[in-house]
Amino acid sequence: MIYLGGEAEVRIEEEVVIKKRKPKRYRIKDIDEILRLRRTRTEARLISLARRAGVPTPVILDVEGDTIIMERIHGIPVKDCMSEEISREIGRLVAKLHSVNIIHGDITPMNMILSEGKIYFVDFGLAFIDSRIESKGVDVHVYFESLKAGFENWESLKKAFIEGYLELGREEVIKRAEEIEERGRYVERKLK
């Protein structure tokens, strides 16, 4: 199977996943190549760092230029099996990411797989390192927005996530995520 995303082509084979960053035609060729190589190495490094922090991720098998070869995780996409228990565990795992200052950048049920009782984070294409509460709050806010967009019981899923996050994470991150949501509402009201 081949999936084409905004940043990469992902080929899923029997036991491996091959993620190749696509060239951007609007960028100067030499700069584009440097950016793709740097972002590929950064993504592989952050996947490994997340794993060392206790967050299940695929094992990186090889990095070749703009391509990452990693283990394929067989399981069910979290979007297809979401529950309060799963959302609570996602909260714990995001707190672990944040404890080592990894900002995932795209925490959604589409980017996680449930396999053998573990939730694997499988896409770190937008991830970066940042210790600021604002960045962590935005990370959490993205997850909350994905719940609103995808699940009727989003409020109970959000509550469960917060419970899990606060077991290991900082309350000020949750407060910042709520402030970010309120800023969005304020802008919406002003535009009307």
Kindly list the catalytic residues.
106
> Distance (Å, rounded) from C-alpha 103 to C-alpha 57?
15
124 DSSP assignment: -
Beta bridge partners of 130: none
CA 191 to centroid of chain Cα atoms: 30
Is 41 in a helix, a strand, or coil? helix
46 with 56: CB under 8 angstroms? no
Question: What single letter denotes the amino acid at residue 20?
Answer: K
Is 175 in a helix, a strand, or coil? helix
